[in-house]
Amino acid sequence: MTIKPLAIGIKRYIPWWGKIATKLLLSQLPNREKFLNDISIFSSEPTMEEPIYAYNTFKEHLNRAKPEKGFVSLELGPGTSLFSGMISWALGGSASYLVDVGDFALKDIQLYQAMEDFLKQKGLPTPDLQNAESLKSILESCSAHYLVSGLSSLQAIPDESVDFIWSQAVLEHIRKADFFDIMRELRRIIRNQGVCTHYVDFKDHLDCALNNLRFSESIWESDFMARAGFYTNRIRYSQMLDLFEKAGFEVEVLEVQRWDRLPTPRENLSKEFRNLSDEELCICDLFVLLKPA
């Protein structure tokens, strides 16, 4: 039984600080990832666990990257759904990597069979999963490799072996201290003609504002805060573009969304953010394309 609908109903009445307090408490629970996912207090629908949403998201990235048939893809941060391995295969990929920092994937075979039905209805090729016994066998059938050790996993992937790297709402979650190393690994892994596309959400993951910028670096980057499920690295737009370039990418900004005005009062921001321009702080979403420079 899921309590998601109830949680979605009440979350709009909880202020940002109440969400932080609740999540910090919940983060002390054993098996907290599953529980936090079940109650979904902070995430918004739809999710990558829905075939149509996962398919459309993958297509959005693929249509922008346009890798050649037979491509090898890498999804950074798949979260709970490993549908992208199946979708990549169905859309002409020869192999895929799905790299996360932990084993968060849902293991229910029926979910993947639902994805198979969805792809079949679209007339796309898909491995036959009707007798699949485990997630492992499903992944093998579409040459997908699920790696769950973050940076170390990336380090194990050969140089220039991937054509298409993408992520959806992930780059803002990479621990700040790891961000540049991860970018350098992605640069090492991508082929010279390869393309990366990333959708980045700069909003706080509390109230879709800038409440995350209220905290000092030492508090925010502490493990206690970072493991509670609302962590974002707070790297701002210009700094992120700069880090992409320093890691060896040519950067093309495809889309930027902005707030009309600051969603959180400037005087409440921590001093390291207070002096940033409105233009910088008002950028809330980014779709970016990276090529090896």
CB 198 within 8 A of CB 167: yes
Distance between CA atoms of 213 and 203, rounded to whole angstroms?
Answer: 10
By beta-carbon proximity to ligand SAM, the closer residue of 135 and 182 is: 182
CB 246 within 8 A of CB 290: no
By beta-carbon proximity to ligand SAM, the closer residue of 134 and 155 is: 155
By beta-carbon proximity to ligand SAM, the closer residue of 170 and 286 is: 170
Closest CA to 246 of 171, 173, 183, 157: 183
Copy the structure tokens of residue 60. Answer: 């959005």
Distance between CA atoms of 256 and 98, rounded to whole angstroms?
Answer: 26
Residue 156 Cβ vs ligand SAM, minimum distance, rounded to whole Å: 13
Residue 244 Cβ vs ligand SAM, minimum distance, rounded to whole Å: 15
Residue 274 Cβ vs ligand SAM, minimum distance, rounded to whole Å: 27
Residue 52 Cβ vs ligand SAM, minimum distance, rounded to whole Å: 14
By beta-carbon proximity to ligand SAM, the closer residue of 90 and 170 is: 170
Distance between CA atoms of 75 and 83, rounded to whole angstroms?
Answer: 11
By beta-carbon proximity to ligand SAM, the closer residue of 70 and 102 is: 102
Residue 226 Cβ vs ligand SAM, minimum distance, rounded to whole Å: 10
In the complex, the residues that contact ligand SAM under the rule CB under 6 A are 47-48, 76-79, 99-101, 104, 150, 168-170, 173-174, 178, 182
Residue 122 Cβ vs ligand SAM, minimum distance, rounded to whole Å: 21
By beta-carbon proximity to ligand SAM, the closer residue of 49 and 160 is: 49
Q: Determine if the peptide bond prior to 67 is cis (ω within 30°).
A: no
Residue 227 Cβ vs ligand SAM, minimum distance, rounded to whole Å: 11
CB 167 within 8 A of CB 76: yes
By beta-carbon proximity to ligand SAM, the closer residue of 155 and 278 is: 155
